[in-house]
Amino acid sequence: MASLDDDAELKRAIALSLEDASSSKSALAPERVVDLSSDDDDDEDLRRAMALSLQENEAEKPSISASAHKPQAPAQSQYALNTSLSADRPAQNSPDAITTKPASGVLGLDRKAMEQERLARLGKRKRSASPDRPSKLIAKALPAASASSAHQPPIADKSPIQYPGGIIKRTWAFKHPRTNDIRLEEVLQASTVNIAILSSFQWEDSWLFDKLDPCKVKQIWIMNGKYRGEDVREKMQREAVEAQIPNFKQHFPPMDGQISNMHSKFMLLFHPTHLRIAVPTANMTLVDWGETNKDPRTGKSWQPAVMENSVFLIDLPRRSDNKLSNKEDLSSFGKELLRFLEAQEVGRNVIEGLLKFDFTHTQHSAFVHSIAGNHTGEASHQTGLAGLARAVRHLQLDQVETLELDCTASSLGALKDTFLKQVYLAARGASPLSDETIPARFLDKIRIYFPSRDTVEKSTGGPACAGIVTLSKSHYGADFPKQCMRDYKSTRRGVLSHNKLLLARGRKKDGTSFAWAYIGSANLSEAAWGSQKVLKSGKQSVLINRNWECGVLVPVPEDSLKDLQLQDGEVPPMSVFEGTIEVPFQYPGEEYGAKEPWFFK
């Protein structure tokens, strides 16, 4: 089994909001408040160096900046949860430790300010303080006259059902041309959503509450709740209660034993007419959704986006008979989604809520997950890499003769040939531990897109904005499959990537072509996909998944494949993904040569 350090994902403070200008806040709308007092429901990147000090320093104001930036006077927020601290922290003697010292508890809450704001809730609202921009960005600041929001079109919140068959979109990026992209507001459809179940590894609460008002929308946040050496779950819950955020509840999936991170990212958005399921590669942070800081003088954004992601969306109509579906009658997608949510112990009400919707049109895609923990027997064949292989078989994408695999990740573990062989086998629909014959030089058929140091340094935000793009220099040793590495360069100039994608193209044994895309939270590491081996006895060891992960596998339609004119042994070109996913990087990608990858230190 790989070291726990394999799931390295350093969270530095990436140019978050600098706003301290207040904006008018309308009165609460009690007629739309959802009662959350009942307990009926029973209710990037895996960072090695997410060292978040839980010490309270009453002499200092809250600061979560990981870099030595000039401090700013904090503004206050109506709901001042500092949930970007919700990540696993390493041992205090870790060489990669970053120390931060919240002044008012683990979530950085200013209780005095909260009380003042509760008394003046109908007054103006100010945003919470956040880290300074990197010095490089400050140096580029535009004068007020040239700051423009011309690239920020109005949001068209078109409800209800928009994507009945499912779609993959790129996240919007400020000051870049719009293509097949989507903004978070467009994902949420905030004007009609009633209940939002949100899962993420990192959060920016005040930013998210501006988009999804807790006075109007019941929200359950599925969060990371494990800290090495100290369990702060109770503190997080207590401070959320003290913040008096209406319609808000935290949920922490099981994190016992060797489980390290709750890294899954998804949204279950309940509307009167439909359920929207969204599975992004992005965290719930401003930067991950293509937004940027605002100039404190003008209140307008000026810096082009520094990060991009992707998201799968599908809209499911309500059942016409108003009854609950039987779990046994669900599509494979629905069954695996419920298996994952039940393992996360989200509660009976959430599960029953899902069963009110029609999963018929999910049959052409597959929900893929890594259920954290140890698995034996049949359970070990349903999740992790084995679950990916099972999804490939279910969609009849197996019986493979030849396969090319292009992978993107925002975090890489201590990759070895043996692990990549398991990934390659699973992508063919075979058991990751099978003895199925594959090419001796199978590594030549795998390309891993990850930015070089040169690419990061020349990016819009520079190294200060690459804190969630992580690879440890100690992992990039002699055994690392360097021949697979390609320099990730976005088709959006200067933008870095937080995408987690697998793009497979191949030919079956009968000569037919196929292609599919995986989009989700899982990086390329054993922590994300699971660790398992064949014992000397010939039996399979226990499957160990250290992270909660989830994603969706979407096949390229046969209509996009049938007219291809391919030679013997040739696979479909990357252009075959057009119409299924907008490939966000330049391919086939530049080999590293003398370059070295971006190391997070």
Catalytic residues: 263, 498
- Which residues in 409-483 belong to E strands, given as ranges? 411-412, 446-450, 470-471
HSE-up (13 A, CA, CB side) for residue 210: 19
Tokens, residue 583: 């490939």
Residue 335 assigned ligand-binding role: no
Angle at 448 between CA 445 and CA 451, to 5 degrees: 150
Angle at 153 between CA 149 and CA 156, to 5 degrees: 150
Can you spell out the DSSP letters for 161-210? -S-TT-EEEEEP-TTS--SSEE-HHHHHTTTT--EEEEE-SSB-HHHHHH
Bridge partners (DSSP) of residue 315 are: 276
Q: How far is CA 178 from CA 56, 152, 204, 501, in A?
A: 44, 10, 24, 21
Angle at 560 between CA 556 and CA 562, to 5 degrees: 115
Element (DSSP H or E) covering residue 569: none
Query: 341, 362, 343: which is closest to 352 by C-alpha?
Result: 341
Q: How many CB atoms within 10 Å of residue 589?
A: 18
Tokens, residue 126: 């100010």
Tokens, residue 301: 């954004």
Residue written as token pair 């006895």: 537
Residue 500 assigned ligand-binding role: yes
> Cα 252 vs. chain centroid, distance in angstroms?
17
Annotated binding site for substrate: 265, 500
Binding residues: 265, 500
